[in-house]
């Protein structure tokens, strides 16, 4: 028996428990979905978007599923959904489940890379098995969503080596699919990474151009009307919306809070970007940007918050085990589903408000902690390519 064979067998034996855990976790997920008859409505919407492209129908003129869901993404995204058109619904669901499982494993790997750690096969398998049950990840599987794919595009781009060819392009593509990652473009620019910001901007512009060439009428409609009609996406006050607008709407009992959330959103967005740009460590700049983008977006459904995976990874890597455990608990307990719903969210008692908006409140707390941390330490911005030489305390959460 060669030394190479012994090494491979040793690695396989070492990874076996984690592989078993992952298999059990995914099997339990599949069994639960089969028992509940999970419909994966968003995957069905994506397929309908692809069909609208193929058959020349109005991309933004239809609704589908029991919830009467419309298309809400830019035309470029609909082009990417075309291959789903020829899949039977059971195959479509199986494809989304398998794809999201692979993407979650990739996100775990990228999160470890963001945190400056090397994740071997056992760690990736074990972490993926557990991460499946985080509420945003679980709901991504339930709805057949693309949140994991978009987040992986952003993280892969940001964790590539400095000066890598085309670095920034995937951020632009991600923004062309789902607009929220666009906040990373000013982040890169203000961080002094002008070339990456320009590449991301060019890639985003290319997605808009491709959409306009392939679907001119849909592009005009989207960029001039539908983009500003957030009511197409859903009611902002329901508990599933974990953005700042959702929090404000529920606190005020106002279905359309208007300036009462727009002005705070502008202030919080600017503050979050300012803190991200000045982060000593790149990992915190990335996290603060991603979380701020979700917070100030008009609607950020709970399943959009898959950024919890890299957040937990960074907290663990920096030795903040208690904070990591509390964050994992917050993203697992699903408190927003425990409060009265179906219109009653606008009449919640004071003690129910934190339960209804856990993710938004977490990010606001994180930004406040970062602001206090940076002020107390005379924080200064680190330019692109420079390493941080500042010492950090183990008691500090934001570094």
Confidence of residue 377 (pLDDT cuts 50, 70, 90): low
pLDDT of residue 393 exceeding 80, the answer is no
What's the whole-number average pLDDT of the chain? 90
Mean pLDDT of 226-251: 91
Can you give the pLDDT at residue 392? 39
Q: For residue 274, is pLDDT > 80?
A: yes
Which residues, in sequence order, are CB contacts of 225 under 8 Å at separation 6+? none
Burial class (CB in 10 A: 0-12, 13-18, 19+), 276: buried
Q: Give the integer Cα–Cα distance in Å for 26 and 128.
A: 9
Query: In terms of residues, how long is the chain?
Result: 399
Burial of 177 (0-12, 13-18, 19+ CB in 10 A): buried
Instruction: Work out the percent of the chain whose per-residue pLDDT is above 90.
Output: 80
Q: Which tokens in the block code for residue 223?
A: 């960029």
Of 373, 365, 364, nearest to 318 (Cα)?
A: 373
Write out pLDDT tens, residues 148-202: 999 999 999 999 999 899 999 999 999 999 999 999 999 999 999 999 999 999 9
Indicate the pLDDT class of residue 65, thresholds 50, 70 and 90.
confident
pLDDT exceeds 50 at position 387 = no
Whether residue 399 is predicted with pLDDT greater than 80 in this model: the reply is: no
Rounded to an integer, the average pLDDT of 61-76 is 91
Could you say which DSSP state residue 399 is in?
-
Given this model, what pLDDT does residue 386 score? Answer: 38
The residue-averaged pLDDT of 324-330 equals 97
Residue 304 has pLDDT above 60, yes or no: yes
Stretch among 17-26, 49-58, 103-112, 374-383 having the lowest mean pLDDT: 374-383
Give the H/E segment covering residue 93.
helix 89-114
Confidence (pLDDT) at 397 = 52
């Amino acid at each position: 028996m060669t030394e190479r064979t012994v090494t491979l067998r040793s690695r396989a034996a070492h990874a076996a428990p984690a592989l078993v855990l992952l298999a059990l976790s995914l099997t339990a997920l599949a069994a639960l979905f089969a028992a509940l008859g999970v419909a994966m409505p968003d995957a069905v919407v994506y397929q309908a978007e692809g069909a609208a492209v193929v058959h020349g129908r109005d991309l933004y003129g239809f609704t589908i599923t029991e919830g009467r869901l419309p298309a809400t993404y830019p035309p470029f995204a609909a082009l990417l959904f075309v291959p789903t058109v020829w899949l039977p619904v059971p195959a479509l669901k199986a494809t989304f489940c398998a794809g999201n499982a692979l993407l979650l494993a990739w996100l775990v790997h990228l999160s470890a890379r963001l945190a400056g750690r090397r994740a071997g096969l056992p760690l990736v398998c074990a972490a993926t098995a557990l991460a499946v049950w985080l509420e945003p990840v679980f709901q991504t599987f339930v709805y057949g969503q693309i949140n994991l794919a978009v987040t992986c595009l952003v993280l892969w781009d940001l964790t590539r080596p400095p000066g890598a060819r085309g670095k920034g392009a995937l951020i632009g593509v991600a923004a062309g699919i789902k607009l929220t990652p666009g906040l990373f473009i000013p982040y890169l620019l203000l961080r002094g990474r002008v070339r990456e910001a320009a590449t991301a901007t060019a890639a985003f512009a290319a997605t808009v151009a491709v959409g306009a060439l392939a679907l001119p009428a849909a592009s005009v409609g989207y960029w001039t009307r539908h983009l500003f009609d957030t009511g197409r996406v859903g009611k902002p006050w329901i508990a599933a919306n974990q953005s700042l607008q959702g929090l404000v709407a529920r606190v005020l009992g106002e279905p359309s809070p208007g300036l009462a959330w727009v002005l705070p959103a502008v202030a919080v967005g600017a503050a979050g970007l300012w803190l991200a740009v000045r982060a000593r460590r790149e990992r915190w700049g990335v996290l603060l940007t991603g979380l701020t983008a979700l917070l100030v977006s008009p609607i950020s459904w709970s399943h959009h918050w898959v950024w919890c995976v890299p957040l937990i990874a960074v907290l663990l890597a920096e030795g903040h085990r208690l904070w990591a455990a509390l964050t994992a608990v917050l993203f697992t307990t699903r408190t927003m589903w425990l409060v009265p719903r179906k219109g009653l969210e606008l009449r919640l008692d004071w003690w129910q408000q934190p339960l209804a908006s856990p993710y938004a409140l977490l990010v606001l707390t994180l930004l406040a902690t970062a602001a206090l941390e940076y002020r107390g330490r005379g924080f200064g911005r680190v330019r692109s390519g420079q390493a941080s030489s500042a010492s950090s305390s183990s008691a500090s959460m934001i570094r």
